[in-house]
Amino acid sequence: MKYLVLIPDGMADEKIEELGQRTPMEVAKKPTMDMLAKTATVGTVSNVPIGMVPESDTANMAILSFDPKIYSKGRSPLEAVSMGIEMKPDETAYRCNVVTLSEDEENYDDKIILDHSADEITTAEANELIKALEAKLGTDYRRFYTGVSYRHCLIWKNGNDKYDFMRPHDILGKRIGEYLPKAENGGKEFYDLMRESYNILNHHPVNEARRARGLKPANSAWLWSPGKKPQLPNFREKWGLNAAVISAVDLIKGIGLCAGMRSIDVEGATGNVHTNYEGKANAAIEAFKSGHDFVYIHVEAPDECGHRAELENKILSVELIDKKILKPVYEYLAASGEDFRVMILPDHPTPIRLRTHTIHPVPFLIYDSVKISNGVENFSEESAANKGFYVKDGYTLMELLKK
């Protein structure tokens, strides 16, 4: 038996007036997804436990069968693992976004956060900015590391791993002052670093060149999601499956690596709508051919479009996932002569209206090549909810998939 799990990150949404009170999932042309849904087990699932922040680390851990209440230590250390950073027990990892802040205000606290991704800055450009931060702010106890696009890492010896930072994508368009780390809460060092980063980055040659091209500058660091070195159970030992993970996002790669899965890099995989969909499909097919029983494909594009309130691109991303990833991998599995199952679900919703994640249940389908179920015509939030099959804890989905 082969298993394909496809995660269109943040695909679930709300009904939108502009779409005739339909969601992007309902509007998107996704013939393969809908075909599978007709004979699949369909329902809804809560991947994020009540009381936890609806982040992708928590949700994807759950989908891979790891109870977030036990194993979630923050996303940054997982990203550090993917980046090859060897964390020591006394070190804390922090996500270090390079973001776009407004420039007219003299006081740093009065600035407005315009874009959490700085127009999805390229990794090559961001690398120059991270090197500048390391040169000016790096010490023998804190170091900056380049990740992908706007997503980077800060490792801090004896750093506070409990500080409650604000997520930058939750405050787009707002004055940052009330959301910055506070001295009275033990956040002075974090605040000072973020403020100084603006002075270092705002007129950096990379940002001046971006302005000249009509792009937003990545003119400040934003710290969040601290955590210590993570430990997860071995996925193969738990489920008896030789597993691989395919993602452009260090966070998802890190979860896979910590669980003993093979992480497959795909050239041109960006984490946004302009990614190498075909490359991910080919990588999945090759993984199955090489003996992997379980392939986990994560696609960030719908989530990024949700954060950026790009409605047309969110619909497009779902259509491209269906056409360029799901269709060819399904056709390969169907022609292989071996029984297989396909599970498809977003990890969490990322509604266009809110531009951030929510904790609401998401639709899922489990297709079995030899077992016909009474599914739905159009795989969507509403059709899945109407089936009346609700899985309370996302970390139990693997039991349902393997049953």
Rounded percentage of the chain residues whose pLDDT exceeds 70: 100
The whole-angstrom separation of Cα 81 and Cα 150 is: 17
The whole-number pLDDT of residue 229 equals: 83
Residue 72: phi, psi to the nearest 5? -70, 120
The whole-number pLDDT of residue 73 equals: 77
- Both 353 and 298 in one domain: the answer is yes
The per-residue pLDDT of the chain, averaged, comes to: 96
Confidence of residue 275 (pLDDT cuts 50, 70, 90): very high
Whether this prediction's pTM lies above 0.85 is answered by: no
The whole-number pLDDT of residue 183 equals: 92
Give the helix, strand, coil percentages of the chain, each rounded to 5. Answer: 40, 20, 40
Rg (CA), the chain: 21
Question: What domain count does the chain have?
Answer: 2
Inter-residue contact 294 to 241 (CB < 8 Å): yes
Residue-number span of the structural domain to which 219 is assigned: 91-227
- Give how far the C-alpha of residue 9 lies from the chain's centroid of Cα atoms, to the nearest Å: 6
The whole-number pLDDT of residue 230 equals: 81
What is the per-residue pLDDT across 34-89, written as a single tens digit (0 to 9) for each?
A: 999 999 999 999 999 999 989 899 999 999 999 999 998 778 998 999 899 989 99
- Both 111 and 195 in one domain: the answer is yes
* CATH code of the domain covering residue 380: 3.40.720.10
Q: For residue 177, tell me if it sits in a domain.
A: yes
- Both 220 and 271 in one domain: the answer is no
- The whole-number average pLDDT for the span 179-196 is 96
Final residue before a domain boundary, out of 171, 205, 227: 227
- The whole-number average pLDDT for the span 182-189 is 94
Confidence of residue 280 (pLDDT cuts 50, 70, 90): very high
Task: Return the amino acid letter for 46.
Answer: S
What is the per-residue pLDDT across 77-135, written as a single tens digit (0 to 9) for each?
A: 989 998 999 899 999 999 999 999 999 999 999 999 999 999 999 999 999 999 999 99
The whole-number pLDDT of residue 136 equals: 98
The whole-angstrom separation of Cα 199 and Cα 233 is: 43
The secondary structure element, H or E, covering residue 92 is: strand 91-101
What is the per-residue pLDDT across 133-173, written as a single tens digit (0 to 9) for each?
A: 999 999 999 999 999 999 999 999 999 999 999 999 999 99
The whole-angstrom separation of Cα 281 and Cα 287 is: 10
- Both 235 and 188 in one domain: the answer is no
A 10 A CB-CB count for 128 gives 16
The whole-angstrom separation of Cα 146 and Cα 80 is: 10
Instruction: Tokens for 359, please give them.
Output: 């904790």
Is the pLDDT confidence value at 19 over 80? Answer: yes
Final residue before a domain boundary, out of 204, 227, 250: 227
What is the per-residue pLDDT across 355-376, written as a single tens digit (0 to 9) for each?
A: 999 999 999 999 999 999 999 9
- Both 242 and 223 in one domain: the answer is no
Q: For residue 276, tell me if it sits in a domain.
A: yes
- Both 117 and 163 in one domain: the answer is yes
Confidence of residue 271 (pLDDT cuts 50, 70, 90): confident
Give the Å distances, CA to CA, from 117 to 163, 235, 305: 22, 32, 11
- Both 215 and 316 in one domain: the answer is no
Q: What is the DSSP string of 47-91?
A: -S-TTS---HHHHHHHHTT--HHHH---HHHHHHHHTT----TTE
Counted residue by residue, the chain has a size of: 403
Query: Cα 304–307–312 angle (5° rounding)?
Result: 70
The whole-angstrom separation of Cα 262 and Cα 362 is: 27
